[in-house]
Amino acid sequence: MTAEIAIQTVNLSKTFGRRGRKRIEAVKHLNLEVRAGQVYGFLGPNGAGKSTTIRMLLDLIHPTAGDVYLYGQHVHRHHEVLRRVGALVEGATFYNFLSGRRNLEVLARTANCYDPRRIEQLLEQVGLAERANQRVKGYSTGMKQRLGLAAALLSDPDLLILDEPTNGLDPGGMHEIRTFIRRLVDEQGKTVFLSSHLLGEVEQVCDRVAIINLGEIVREGAVDELLAGKSTLRVEARPLQRAAEVLREHWPVVTNETWLTVSAAHEDSPHVVRRLVEAGVDVYQVAAQRQTLEEYFLAVVREKVGHA
Ligand SMILES: Nc1ncnc2c1ncn2[C@@H]1O[C@H](COP(=O)(O)OP(=O)(O)OP(=O)(O)O)[C@@H](O)[C@H]1O
Ligand SMILES: [Mg+2]
**Dihedral-angle region of residue 306 (phi above 0 means left; psi in -120 to 50 means alpha; beta otherwise):** alpha
**pLDDT at site 20:** 65
DSSP string computed for 107-174? HHHHTT---HHHHHHHHHHTT-GGGTTSBGGG--HHHHHHHHHHHHHTT--SEEEEESTTTT--HHHH
Ligand 1 in contact with 61 (CB < 6 A)?
A: no
Q: Structural domain boundaries of the chain?
A: 5-223, 231-290
**pLDDT at site 206:** 94
Mean pLDDT of the residues in the chain: 90
pTM of the model: 0.84
Tell me how far the alpha carbon of residue 255 lies from the centroid of ligand 1, in angstroms. 32
Q: Tell me the per-residue pLDDT of 164-181, one tens digit each, with 9 for 90 and over.
A: 998 888 888 888 889 999
Ligand 1 in contact with 214 (CB < 6 A)?
A: no
Quick one: which atom of ligand 1 is closest to the CA of 90?
A: 27
**pLDDT at site 248:** 92
Q: Coil, strand or helix: which one is 215?
A: coil
Which ligand neighbours the alpha carbon of 89 most closely? 2
For residues 4-21, b (16+ Cβ closer than 10 Å) or e, as one string?
ebbbbbbebbbeeeeeee
CATH topology of domain 231-290: Alpha-Beta Plaits (3.30.70)
Q: Coil, strand or helix: which one is 66?
A: strand
More confident residue, 286 or 307: 286
Q: Chain centroid to CA 12: how far? A: 19
Q: Tell me the per-residue pLDDT of 236-280, one tens digit each, with 9 for 90 and over.
A: 999 999 999 999 999 888 888 889 989 888 889 999 999 999 999
Which ligand neighbours the alpha carbon of 23 most closely? 1
Average pLDDT over residues 67-78: 97
**pLDDT at site 292:** 78
**pLDDT at site 99:** 97
**pLDDT at site 253:** 87
In this predicted structure, the answer to whether residue 307 has a pLDDT above a threshold of 50 is: no
Ligand 1 in contact with 216 (CB < 6 A)?
A: no
* Residue 2 confidence class, pLDDT cut points 50, 70, 90: low
What gap in Å lies between CA 61 and CA 53, rounded to an integer? 9
Residue type, 87: A
- Please state which CATH number belongs to domain 5-223: 3.40.50.300
**pLDDT at site 68:** 98
Nearest to 298 by CA among 250, 254, 267: 254
**Dihedral (C-alpha) 243, 249, 250, 252: value to the nearest 10 degrees?**
80
**pLDDT at site 308:** 38
Q: Tell me the per-residue pLDDT of 112-134, one tens digit each, with 9 for 90 and over.
A: 899 999 999 999 999 999 999 99
Quick one: which atom of ligand 1 is closest to the CA of 44?
A: 21
In this predicted structure, the answer to whether residue 286 has a pLDDT above a threshold of 60 is: yes
Kindly give the interhelix angle for 141-153 and 116-125, rounded to the nearest 10 degrees: 140
Among the residue ranges 95-99, 138-142, 233-237, 288-292, the one predicted with the least confidence is 288-292
In this predicted structure, the answer to whether residue 102 has a pLDDT above a threshold of 80 is: yes
What gap in Å lies between CA 208 and CA 248, rounded to an integer? 32
Q: What percent of the chain has pLDDT over 90?
A: 68
